[in-house]
Chains A and B, each alone.
Chain A
Amino acid sequence: MSGAIQDNSSSTGLYPGKLWLETPLIRSTHISSLLQSNVYLKLDSLQPAQSFKYRGISYFAQHALRTYGPDAHLIIASGGNAGLAAACAAKVLKLRCTVFLPHGVNQSTIDFMTKEGAEVVIHGNFYLQALQGAQEAVAAEPKAVMIPAYDDPILWEGHASLVHEIKQQLPEGVKPDAIFCSVGGAGLVGGIMDGCKAVGWDDVPLVAVETHGSNCFYQSLSLNDGPFAGDVSSRPVSEGTTPERNAEHGVSVAHLASLTSKATSLEDHKTLVELACGAAIAPAYKPSVFNRLVPRSTPDKPVNVVLIVCGGFKISLDDVQEYRRIVQAEVSAGGTWDVAINGETFATSKAE
Chain B
Amino acid sequence: MSTNHMNRDEKLWLETPLMLQPSQSFKYRGISHFAQHALRMHGQGVHLIIASSGNAGIAAACVAKVLKLRCTIYLPHGVSQPTIELMRREGAEVVVTEGAYYSQALQCAKAAVEAEPKAVMVPGYDDPILWEGHASMVHEMQRQLLDGIKPDAIFCSLGGGGLAGGIIEGCKAVGWDDVPLVGVETHGSNCFYQSLSLNEGPFVGEVASRAISEGTRAERNVEHDVHIAHLSSLPSKATSLGASSPSAAIVKKALERKGGIRSVCIPDEMAMQAAINFAEDHKTLVELACSATIAPAYKPSVFRKFVPESASGANSVNVILVLCGGFKVSLADMEEYRRVVAADVAAGGDWVVAYNGDTFAASKV
Contacts and interface: CB of A to CB of B under 8 A. Distances in A.
B19 to A, nearest CB: 5
B24 interface: yes
Interface string A2-35: 0011110000000000000100101101100100
Q: Say whether chain A's binding surface is mostly helix, strand, loop, or mixed.
A: mixed
A324 interface: yes
B20 A24 contact: yes
Nearest to B142: A7
Interface in A221-277: 265, 267, 269-273
A267 B330 contact: yes
B331 interface: yes
Given A5-B146, A21-B1, A46-B1, A317 B24 contact: no
B89 A29 contact: yes
B334 interface: yes
B92 to A, nearest CB: 12
A50 B278 CA distance: 13
A293 interface: no
Given A5-B147, A29-B86, A313-B283, A267 B5 contact: no
B214 interface: no
A122 to B, nearest CB: 22
B245 to A, nearest CB: 29
A175 to B, nearest CB: 22
Nearest to A25: B20
Contacts of B145: 5-7
B19 A320 contact: no
A116 interface: yes
Contacts of B146: 4-7
Contacts of A27: 22
A238 B146 CA distance: 53
Given A29-B90, A317-B334, A320-B331, A270 B24 contact: yes
Contacts of A21: 1
B286 interface: yes
B283 A45 contact: yes
Contacts of A33: 89
A324 to B, nearest CB: 7
Contact of A7 (B90, B144, B329): B144
Interface in B267-284: 276, 279-280, 282-284
Q: Say whether chain B's binding surface is mostly helix, strand, loop, or mixed.
A: loop
A112 B280 CA distance: 12
B279 A317 contact: yes
Interface string A308-334: 000101011100110010000000000
B37 interface: no
A115 B7 CA distance: 10
Interface string A35-77: 0000000010110101000000000000000000000000000
A270 B285 contact: yes
B89 A26 contact: no
Contacts of B283: 45, 50, 271-273, 311, 313, 315
Interface in A253-307: 265, 267, 269-273
A59 B268 CA distance: 43
A272 B285 contact: yes
Interface residues of A, number: 35
A48 B18 contact: no
B2 A6 contact: yes
Contacts of A271: 19, 283-285
Contacts of A316: 280
A310 to B, nearest CB: 12
Contacts of A46: 1, 16
A108 B285 contact: no
Interface string A113-130: 001100000000000000
A55 B21 CA distance: 23
Nearest to B65: A29
A317 B280 CA distance: 7
A33 B338 CA distance: 32
Contacts of A45: 283
B19 A317 contact: no
Contacts of A115: 4-5, 8
B19 A43 contact: yes
B280 A5 contact: no
Nearest to A314: B283
B8 to A, nearest CB: 8
B1 A317 contact: no
A269 B86 CA distance: 12
Interface string B228-254: 000000000000000000000000000
B143 interface: yes
Nearest to A316: B280
A265 B331 contact: yes
28 contacts: A5-B11, A5-B145, A5-B146, A6-B146, A7-B143, A7-B146, A21-B1, A26-B19, A27-B22, A29-B22, A29-B62, A33-B89, A45-B283, A46-B16, A48-B2, A115-B4, A115-B5, A267-B330, A269-B19, A270-B18, A270-B285, A270-B327, A271-B19, A272-B279, A272-B285, A315-B283, A316-B280, A317-B338
Given A5-B146, A6-B146, 4 more contacts: A269-B19, A270-B285, A311-B283, A324-B331
